[in-house]
Amino acid sequence: MSRPVPNPGILDIAPYTPGKTPVPEPGRKVFKLSANETPFGPSPKAIEAFKRVADHLEDYPEGTSRVLREAIGRSFGLDPNRIICGAGSDEILNLLAHTYLGQGDEAISTNHGFLVYPIATMAVGARNVIAEETNLTCNVDAILKVVTPKTKLVWLANPNNPTGTYIPFDEVKRLRAGLPSHVLLVLDAAYCDYVSRNDYEMGIELVATTENTVVTHTFSKIHGLAALRVGWMFGPEHIIDAVNRIRGPFNVSTPAMYAAVAAIEDTGHQGMSKQFTETWRNWLTEEITKLGLRVTPSVANFVLIHFPTDNGRTSDDADAFLTKRGLVLRALKNYGLPHSLRMTIGTEEANRLVVDALREFMAGK
């Protein structure tokens, strides 16, 4: 008997394997350091705004997320008409794939890039083309080398997840200049708020001065609103127009919208979080390196820790050892990093516990 058949490409997508549910020893407090969530939660003002809206859950949201686009516009100095909001930036990435990719097309991402990119690409029947990184960092020449006449889109998280590395804005501009003008460059700036490097830019200038570049951003990381699913994109007018035609008319909920407005206006909360992250990122990098483990220099709110391959010292061993103590990091086999664990920077207590546990682990206890 015949049965429904998924579109071409769908069954080529590796099934998503979520991080395993932690089973710590009884009585252990659990620290989830596996999803790059902020240890601080959102601004208290965002929680207030969310609760205020709870009295009117019967009403559909305002369909264009106007109040949020205006707040983002004020915060970044952007024209709100060139912003689209979405249910997380994941939705926006998928909308871009639906708008610009189809069967026979190719989209490029890097070999340790964010896994949503290949999924979004393959879900619409396009081919996912991999460009090799150098030292776990985007290599612009490697991307340019795999461009073919079929290339329609390039996905680039800057900084990248899960590596924590970034490329300077000059390199992003060189990438743009080297790509054919019909190729859409998607700059995913999910972690831009954590970067303090003079040569880094999230890419707004490039969007403003070209017809083929967009920047996406999220409220899930420094703003601490991952549960609400809010992201946004800044793009050229013609791209905003095209994507708006397929966007669900009520894709951002009212509570999410108003919480996000309050969050983006609380610059004090963001500043505190950024400062804390920087301090503990430096501390963790230094302390973990002292234990004889390699840590990739990160500019984001997580660090990538590399483990040896000898028996008893592998990343699997470390993962089990840490999990027993309630310290849940992210294994990265499906990101092509079988010997590494990604640790989201947590509270001071969590960070110290991880270093103490890793010290014991390396001492063979």
- Residues near ligand PLP (CB under 6 A) are 36, 88-90, 114, 157, 161, 188, 190, 218, 220-221, 226, 231
Cα 101 versus chain centre, distance: 21
Please state the closest distance from residue 153 (CB atom) to ligand PLP, in A: 15
Closest CB to ligand PLP among residues 86, 326? 86
Please state the closest distance from residue 298 (CB atom) to ligand PLP, in A: 13
The sign of the dihedral angle between the CA atoms of 169, 170, 172, 176 is positive
Closest CB to ligand PLP among residues 176, 221? 221
Please state the closest distance from residue 92 (CB atom) to ligand PLP, in A: 8
What is the CB neighbour count within 10 angstroms for residue 61? Answer: 17
Q: What is the rounded distance in angstroms from the CA atom of residue 123 to the CA atom of residue 312?
A: 39
Residues 345, 302: contact at Cβ < 8 Å?
yes
Closest CB to ligand PLP among residues 195, 358? 195
Least Cα distance to 156 among 285, 148, 223, 171 occurs for: 171
Residues across the chain: 365
The sign of the dihedral angle between the CA atoms of 321, 325, 329, 333 is positive
**Residue type, position 97, single letter:** A
Encoded tokens for 74: 């004020």
| Nearest residue relative to ligand PLP (C-beta) | 88
Encoded tokens for 341: 């664990």
Closest CB to ligand PLP among residues 173, 342? 342
Please state the closest distance from residue 190 (CB atom) to ligand PLP, in A: 4
Closest CB to ligand PLP among residues 91, 319? 91
Residues 124, 102: contact at Cβ < 8 Å?
yes
Please state the closest distance from residue 110 (CB atom) to ligand PLP, in A: 11
Please state the closest distance from residue 58 (CB atom) to ligand PLP, in A: 27
Closest CB to ligand PLP among residues 220, 351? 220
176 phi and psi angles, rounded to 5 deg: -60, -45
